[in-house]
A and B are shown apart, each in its own frame.
Chain A
Amino acid sequence: MNDQQWLWLVPIIVGLSLLFAVFYYRRQAILTQKAIQSLYDVNQQSNQDALTFIESAWPVLESVNVSKLYVEGRWFGEPFKRLFYNEQPQTQRISETLQQQDIEMTLIFSTPRLAKEQRLLLSLVKQTFVNILHSDITLKQMQVLMAQSQLQRYQLHLQHDLKNLNQSIQLMQRQIENSDAHSLEQCQKLMQHLKSVFPLLGKQANEVLRPLTVNRSGEEELEQAVNLNSLIKGLAEAYRLTYKMEADSDVLLHQPQEVVNEVFKNLLSNYRDHPQQEDLLLKIKIMKDEEVVRVLLVSQQSKGLSEKKERLFEPFWTTSKSGLGLGLFLVRESLKLLNGEIKVVEGEQEQGFEVVIPLKKS
């Protein structure tokens, strides 16, 4: 072959080399993309639990030439270790440390000697793994802190109510003990007093239990219809709310009384405990049609409900420093038992809630 013929080969060889390189890098990129996507899928399947994620992610790391993964640390004070490896050589090491309050981890990745582009692609996958692990740990810590705070709040509430109950019972016990020395008139007075306080005692005990009994079956016997107008009026007055009620007639609900009571108790105590302004006037309108009753509770509020509308029914969420944040959540849960519903109502000047309850239990 002469020189000119050789010259034709050069562009062909260069072209083939370039094509090969493109295919190679494209393949590496696809593998990397798959590996990264797999890590996210594995994390989802692990319910974003850090320890489960570490165990489930090993096959993915192995596929990008990680020959050994060693993890050690402390999980809420408890030491732990995990070791994953295969038969590939462990020539090079990369270490990462993660820490978040009660969780610490040191991760050591070992790999064989790799070409530069392989190393680059491995580091992308490794970094993704570390980032996902970091967010899982952060999430776990936040969940624990939130649960602790909710428990503390709940404990505070319980303590307060139980201490009050305990105090009342102690004083009553003393009163009864002293009655031996009483005259007949004093004994009669004591009996009258005990007659008036024992129902309160029962009521108070129920109040303490109330947040503990969210899931009720709603299968109570329907002994008699509930007069909704009287119920709401009684509660509004007991909570000393300034209110104005409108209703064409008395509404009798054939639904479990306890559950209906719970709905309006929680709703009205919400107004008592979160007054948006001092001179709040609560307008209550009761409207009945053939199958359902609608109760509209609105007031003029300086701050709109819509600022935090999506969080209103979230359990343990509250704007009050001392509230438990369960009131509206319990309203919705109780209404589900009645096949009823509640929604936020927003007008130009007034905001509130509309509660819809079927007249009869289905």
Chain B
Amino acid sequence: MTLANKIWVVDDDPLLSSTLVYTLETSGYSVESFARADEVITALKSSSSDEPPQIMILDMGMPPHKHGPEEGLRVLDYLSEYQLPTKTLVLTGQDAEKMALLAVEHGAFDYLQKPVDESSLLNAVKRAQLFYEQEQKLQSQNQQQIKLNVQLGEGVKQVRNQAEEKIVRRVLQQTGFNVHETARQLGLKRENVYYLMNKYGIQRPEDGSGDE
């Protein structure tokens, strides 16, 4: 099953999940639903490197932390760590301001406060899709966009390191951990890529994918 061009709805509430899926499907989107953070992360790991979902609609509270943001943040952190191009729309219910800040801090593209009306939801999805497509175009022109969270006042070395790590992770993900191809795309030698992988603790996926 290809996971490309899908919207993933991640919510443990079966009623809400079902309603969101129906709304999106009747608007012409291809939708997959998940109820737990573990399921999403497993699916992301097992999807081929260049086929993550375009858009994810993510509820922050899921079991076992139904009323806290821990599970949602796990998903956002995974997407951020591997620099996947998925645009995440976070659905917040409680303490919207705090949740929204957390979500954006952890790499969410947008947040919507429940209850969100259908037109706002679909507009948000369209907006996310637009950004996704433009970023894909840039990528086809060999340009990459990366997002950094930077603490000011601590010099610029950490900024350089963060940018370096993110771009290496992104390209490794895109090439399926093909070090040779990564080196070529980055304009580096293979040894440099190994050095950077070691420096930032980047490991090959457990399923053994990726090759020299």
Chain A residues packing against B (C-beta within 8 Å):
156-157, 159-160, 163-168, 170-172, 174-175, 186, 189-190, 193, 196-197, 200-201, 203-204, 239-240, 272-275, 320-323
Contact = CB atoms under 8 A, between A and B. Distances in A.
Contacts of B18: 193, 196-197, 200
Interface stretch (B58-66, B147-155, B182-190): B58-66
Contacts of A160: 61, 66-67, 93-94
Nearest to A324: B67
Interchain residue pairs A-B with the least CB separation, the first 3: A322-B67, A167-B115, A163-B93
A200 B61 CA distance: 19
B19 A168 contact: yes
Task: Select the residue from A171, A172, A200 with max chain B CB neighbours within 10 A.
Answer: A171
Given A164-B15, A201-B15, A273-B63, 8 more contacts: A167-B116, A168-B15, A240-B35, A272-B63, A272-B64, A273-B66, A274-B64, A320-B65
B120 to A, nearest CB: 11
Interface stretch (B20-28, B48-56, B173-181): B20-28
A166 to B, nearest CB: 5
A320 B70 CA distance: 12
Nearest to A155: B94
Interface in B1-46: 13-16, 18-20, 22-23, 26, 35-36
Most buried by A among B13, B36, B63, B65: B13
A203 B68 CA distance: 22
B114 A320 contact: no
A171 B23 contact: yes
A240 B42 CA distance: 15
A166 B94 CA distance: 13
Interface residues of B, number: 28
A304 to B, nearest CB: 19
B211 interface: no
Contacts of A323: 67
Interface in B69-102: 91, 93-94
Contacts of A165: 15
B18 to A, nearest CB: 5
B117 A320 contact: no
